[in-house]
Structure 1
């Protein structure tokens, strides 16, 4: 599957990106759950595997940071029956205002990129860098995901292997969360074009978040053009992860089994069901 996704990224990505950035929802995958203060919240339920089975609805949710959830958001999430919330953020990304959500759910911290994306480090990069600098930064981050952060992603996959109902997130729900979703959907043998579309849709669901972040960065002298590589997803970023996996392990299947020790059959039994019709 690594080769198929890499090929798809290079050939079909512009079309998929245009669909994901559009305002229509016909091409969107999964099910979005619009909330007041939580962006990019989506249920993977309904996505189809190659053999016709579908991901069970209400079992796997991806999102941006839920820490600043409103009381209405918390009440809505409490209806989902979450067993655990997986947090890929580093400690430096968290704020003191997140207590209400954290007290309401069972959290597990699995930090990825610890320290490298703290505000103290990113501000000088943004203020003194170019768009290309930030693009290179993101490409390297994606190359690092399967190599430097195997322990965190292996622990995440073990949570899924246990059959738990999960909400997993990072700050904007697109990069670390996007890579984690790639791992899950690859294990479920979801078609490469669907995996790519689901990844790129963060650009659609994060539009309001992106505009708010750009407004906060402008007074600091940071141009939107320089900041955008950090704020949006691009096909080339996921391609960087896939190329690393292919170079080091040959395929996503081998990466899951050999590097992360994932029981793929167990995952499929936990989350896939026979499709309708």
Structure 2
């Protein structure tokens, strides 16, 4: 048994957690204290930064769009920063609807979120391919994040865990953990109805399922998608397992 905690209680980030401990290929567990996912890191306190230093965090991968990362930039001591920008689309689509006088409803928001996840698969493969390339360089502890650590980050975490052989239901469980951990900023929302905010600022199983249905429909399955679009072939997957799975005994 390990006494590692999955969620790290930081003051300036609410969705920072470890992907370790899940059973992967051959029953080998994902190594603890190597792979972290989070919401944005611009609000970290000095104590938070010290806590990340104790984790020996060495790499940060920022999936936020360019304006998002510019508005809330950060630098962590001894951590190499890499921008892999995926531009947000849901807020932009909502604003376009508002300008056109169209009402945003929860079902429309749900469809927008599903479309967003399908777009991760088709439009943002290069960013996820770059993330895997960095993962394959070495096993120094890293964090990948976006603004809320739920959509771009959630899909990235799901890809990594599934590439390591973690079962689909476990991957979904990790994905949905955001609903328990993420603290929504008090300033968001404007005039949007609460039911709409609850769609946009939370995660639902059918969001992630929309992405993997697109992977199956358009690429013939995850193995093909990893190899053809993310440049993660069998040899790369074997190295990924060597780096991030705990050997037996």
Normalising by structure 2, we get a TM-score of 0.88
SS in structure 2 at match of 1:266: helix
SS in structure 1 at match of 2:239: helix
Moved more, 189-198 or 121-130: 121-130
- More helix by percentage: 1
- Unpaired segments ≥5 residues, structure 1: 1-28
Cα separation, 2, equivalents of 1:65 and 1:57: 21
The number of equivalent residue pairs is 239
Answering whether residue 243 of structure 2 is matched by residue 243 of structure 1, we say: no
- Unpaired segments ≥5 residues, structure 2: none
Aligned partners of 1:30 and 1:198 also within 8 Å: no
- Which aligned pairs between 1:216-255 and structure 2 lie closer than 5 A? 216-217=187-188, 220-255=190-225
Aligned partners of 1:174 and 1:199 also within 8 Å: yes
Cα separation, 1, equivalents of 2:5 and 2:133: 23
Partner of 1:195: 171
- CA offset digits 1:62-113 (Å, max 9, x no partner): 00111111111111111122221000000221355534x456631100011x
Partner of 1:71: 46
- Which aligned pairs between 1:143-222 and structure 2 lie closer than 5 A? 143-164=118-139, 165-206=141-182, 209-210=183-184, 213=185, 215-217=186-188, 220-222=190-192
With over 3 angstroms needed to count, the CA separation of the structure-2 counterparts of 1:123 and 1:192, relative to structure 1, is: same
Moved more, 183-192 or 29-38: 29-38
Cα separation, 1, equivalents of 2:52 and 2:109: 34
- Which aligned pairs between 1:1-277 and structure 2 lie closer than 5 A? 31-94=6-69, 96=71, 98-99=73-74, 101-102=75-76, 105-112=79-86, 114=87, 116=89, 122-123=94-95, 125=97, 128-164=103-139, 165-206=141-182, 209-210=183-184, 213=185, 215-217=186-188, 220-262=190-232, 263-275=236-248
Shift of 1:251: 1.5
Aligned partners of 1:86 and 1:167 also within 8 Å: yes
Aligned partners of 2:65 and 2:88 also within 8 Å: yes
Shift of 1:216: 2.5
The structure 1 segments of at least 4 consecutive aligned residues displaced by more than 2 Å after TM superposition are 94-99, 101-105, 115-118, 120-128, 215-218
What do you get for the CA RMSD once the two structures are aligned?
2.2
Cα separation, 1, equivalents of 2:62 and 2:40: 8
Asked which structure has the greater RCO (Cα within 8 Å, sep 6+), the reply is 1
With over 3 angstroms needed to count, the CA separation of the structure-2 counterparts of 1:93 and 1:271, relative to structure 1, is: same
Normalising by structure 1, we get a TM-score of 0.80
